[in-house]
Chain A
Amino acid sequence: MPHSSTSLEQKIYRHYWDDGLLDLFAALGVALIGASWMHGYAAAGAIVPAVLVPLWQPARERLVEPRLGFVEFSDTRERQNRKRLKLVLYLGIIALIAALELYFQRELLAANPGLRLVAGLPAMLLAVLAAATALLIASARFLVYSGVLLAVGSVGAWLGWSPGAIMAAGGAIMFIAASAVFAKFLRANPVEPGVRE
């Protein structure tokens, strides 16, 4: 009976991600990559995730666990997560390669107005990544972020923005939403020091 994927387990799993810290990190990543691109630092596409990903777990342990508590999910869930995480990683690598290619072709794209919609492609690839993350953590919020990135990617490209500006704008919108979710979590779950268990 234990460790099976019941509807209660699914509810608990969704509850585990309700704090919004992952949202905040994802938004910060997208915004930072976009802002770096705008200033000509294409390598940020690889550096920002490499810096942010290892920081997430310690941040969760320090900020979320004292409030929400600690839970370890079943081996079945862990195996399923590893498979889905691989999918997200592959999608991330594809998005990174495609985005870097666009970055190096930026002058060619700027010279050809017919190709300007391609500028929205990095944000759209990140939208796919956000949708895959929604599947991984069973969170509807990441589907909304995916929609935001798709919309900003389309509109920004139509308006002739650079890929960096589009990602920075999408990341900023995500960051505002994620900050609201995280602030609500912190307010609703104050830490009570020195309590007896």
Chain B
Amino acid sequence: MKQLAATDIPEIDDLLHEPARLRLLACLAAVKRADFTFLLNLSGLSRGNLSVQMSKLSEAKLVSIEKTFRDNRPRTLYQLTKQGTDALRNYKRNMMTILSALPD
């Protein structure tokens, strides 16, 4: 009988597995792009927390940032990158594998 190796259990990406970041990524996966204020309203996070989480996602190149001005007000637009989409796909697949092994 083949022994189960550690690699047979899917790895979960810590960056995506954090609840606030996962919610933000899910929001961005549902739309084309959104600005800081929209994500702030939608996520219910504080400004500071949202800023920190988006910076982490941007550093990991999962999200792209575009800074613009509108009516003399700064506007930061966020969009899920191809890398972010792939990471979410991978995360979903791994989570499904793990969740399907759990008892009903």
With A1-B85, A196-B51 as known contacts, state yes or no: A69 contacts B30, CB within 8 Å: no
Whether B42 pairs with A12 at a CB distance below 8 angstroms is yes
In the complex, whether A15 has a CB less than 8 A from a CB of chain B is yes
Whether A12 pairs with B31 at a CB distance below 8 angstroms is yes
Chain A 1-16 near chain B by CB (<8 Å), digits 1 or 0: 1110010110010010
Chain B facing A: main interface SS: helix
Residue on A with the closest CB to B84? Answer: A2
Q: Which residues of B contact A71 (CB under 8 A)?
A: 31, 33-35, 38
Chain B interface size, as a band, is 20 to 34
**From A8, A62, A70, contact of B37 by CB (8 A):** A70
Residue on B with the closest CB to A3? Answer: B32
Whether A8 pairs with B27 at a CB distance below 8 angstroms is yes
Whether A197 pairs with B33 at a CB distance below 8 angstroms is no
**From A12, A189, A195, A197, contact of B30 by CB (8 A):** A12
Interface residues of B (CB under 8 A from A): 26-42, 47, 51, 70-71, 73-77, 80, 85, 88-89, 92
What are the nearest 10 A-B pairs in CB distance?
A69-B38, A69-B37, A9-B30, A197-B36, A70-B35, A72-B32, A71-B34, A197-B76, A2-B29, A8-B30
